Chain A
Amino acid sequence: MSLDLTRVRFARAGRLIIDDVDCTVPAGALSALVGPNGAGKSTLLHLIAAIERTDGGAIDFDGASLAALRRRDRARIVAVAEQQSDTELDLSVHDVVMLGRTPHLGALAGPSPADRVIVRGSLTATGVGDLEERRFSSLSGGERQRVVLARALAQQPGLLLADEPTNHLDIRAQLSALALLAELARGGITVLAALHDLGHAAAYADHVIVLAAGRVVAAGRPSEVLAPELIQRVYGVRAAVLAHPLTGRPLLAFADTSDASPPSPAATLPSEGNRSAV
């Protein structure tokens, strides 16, 4: 069940934000959508979920057009985990995840025992089964992210879209959120996550799609796509690809272009700022 985008376009106020995007998001894999700020990552996710309407092109999942479906039917196939989800309402974690059952419920009928089982299962799958009775507002950022993912799972989707799932999380919560997405993908869900951090894409994604100024500039395996030349071209920074000493996956190191000379050994303090390794 792969997701296929063909010449997808989207303009707002006369400006082309998504410009003839062609790409395939492979089935049952974790795909990372990366690109600089303003490249159109969130917009592309919104177009796939039909939160915004495209100005042209086709978006097909499992060979069928998503745009042709009724909203409710589409919401049973595509789920979105928004970044920084928050609500002013005093909702319990159970309430929040039950919202994921919305496209499966009638207008008046209450949730059935089967819906409650699915809610509990979604919370267990995201590792927060013990939080069901808690107030959503009392949770930490990492816990909230998992609950929002559980809400998306409660929709029982074939395609999961995650917008910056690691935003504002501490390093442990970031890595565990990514590991969870990879695990869901192995479980058969097609996962597309917009990621800021190229290092996360290199470390966790099976497939990387690079977006710049609304266009796909590269797509493929992380080890093939995330090369120094491409990173230089898209982000305007120098990069080196190393092997991660703990996992063996690609490890990226960056430096800005002004820093032309190699650092002297005495100056390699981690607090230098313009160099970071992930």
Chain B
Amino acid sequence: MAGTIEAEASVGRMPLRAVPTAVWAGVLGVLLVASVIISVTIGPAALSPADVLSSVLSHLGIGRSSLSPLRDGIVWELRMPRVLTAAAVGAGLALSGAIMQAVTRNPLADPYLLGLSSGASVGAVVVVVLGWTIVLPLAAFAGALAALAVTLTLAGAVSRITPTRTVLAGLAVSSVFGAVTSLIIFWSATGDSYREILNWLLGSLAGARWPAVAIAGGALVVFGIPLLGSARSLDAFAFGDASAAALGVNVDRTRWLLLGGVALLTGAMVSVSGAIGFVGLILPHAVRLITGPGHRALLPLSALAGAIFLVWADTGARTLFDPRELPVGILTALVGGPVFALLLLRSRRLS
């Protein structure tokens, strides 16, 4: 009898989460830097990590590059900005996903829940069809913000904004904007523009150069870092809105600020990479399995893990079927789907 009770107690015991967040952050930080350097060496032109370091240092004004101008260009003009964009986008999407899951109290939430990706798609498809691809990031960002505005208006129109209303409003907006995208493609896309649109809809980092690094990295610094500071408020939402309010959190203001911040961050990411799926859904869950649900660890570690994941996913996308390039969104979905199914099977508590 006593044995049964003890067994039950040990089943209920928490797994050891003794490893401090700082250690995890250090390990993941080192892994990220290593991933960036190694992934730049991978590709048709053979480069060593030393080549990469030498090129990077020379461009930072330290020493001279030992590489030929052509090979130096491959490192600094092609691969490095693409890898850094992947890292920034992965970090931004994973961070956004972790926050969305907390704000909507919905484990299936991802950064695109508010209709952001479908709004961005409308913007992007319109300019591609018109042939104005130079303003694509701007149009995608504007589309994302338009979708967000409609979703939040819908969610907050009748009374205060709640998790369920937010999710449902996002679904409605996504389906309408998705239909508009399909309509435009069906009506006016041809050959080249069709391929370009498909590339963008699936999510791709193929065109990422230094301006993309500036947009994604800048958004990560400007919106991502303040979002990291919301961890304590997010924790307080664990038992619902009333409980958070009783713990001193301004529930309505916090929810609006977080949804707005996530939307701006995600909108910037989508504008440079298209709608890359599954990073924002899976990575927070994977990190949660290791660190537990506390957001002070979850938010920064999700960002780091998302960066590492997307760097490698994009490396796979551009090299696996060389010389053909795969939109990275196909790869993240291909990896993310089964991983997510595995998580669902493992976790009895998600039911």
Contacts and interface: CB of A to CB of B under 8 A. Distances in A.
Interface of A: 46, 49-51, 71-76, 78-80, 82, 85-92, 95-96, 99-100, 102-103, 105-108, 110, 133-135, 137-139, 155
A134 B248 CA distance: 26
B245 to A, nearest CB: 4
A133 B8 CA distance: 13
B300 to A, nearest CB: 11
B248 A103 contact: yes
23 contacts: A51-B246, A75-B248, A82-B239, A82-B242, A88-B107, A88-B349, A90-B288, A90-B293, A91-B238, A99-B247, A102-B235, A102-B236, A102-B247, A107-B229, A107-B233, A108-B229, A133-B13, A133-B14, A134-B14, A135-B14, A137-B12, A138-B8, A155-B247
Interface in B238-273: 238-240, 242-243, 245-250
Nearest to B229: A107
B246 A107 contact: no
B298 to A, nearest CB: 10
A72 B239 contact: no
Interface of B: 8-9, 11-14, 105, 107, 229-233, 235-236, 238-240, 242-243, 245-250, 288, 292-294, 296, 349
A71 B250 contact: yes
Given A49-B246, A75-B247, 9 more contacts: A82-B242, A82-B246, A87-B238, A88-B105, A91-B293, A102-B247, A107-B231, A110-B296, A135-B13
Nearest to A152: B246
A85 B243 contact: yes
B320 to A, nearest CB: 35
B14 A103 contact: no
Contacts of A46: 242
A46 B245 CA distance: 10
Nearest to A93: B14
Contacts of B247: 75, 99-100, 102-103, 155
B239 A99 contact: yes
B208 to A, nearest CB: 32
B348 to A, nearest CB: 10
Which interface residue of A86, A89, A103, A155 has the most chain B CB atoms within 10 A?
Answer: A89
Contacts of B240: 82, 87
A90 B11 contact: no
B292 A135 contact: no
Contacts of A137: 12, 349
Pairs of residues from A and B, 5 with the lowest C-beta to C-beta distance, nearest first: A138-B12, A75-B248, A103-B248, A80-B246, A72-B248
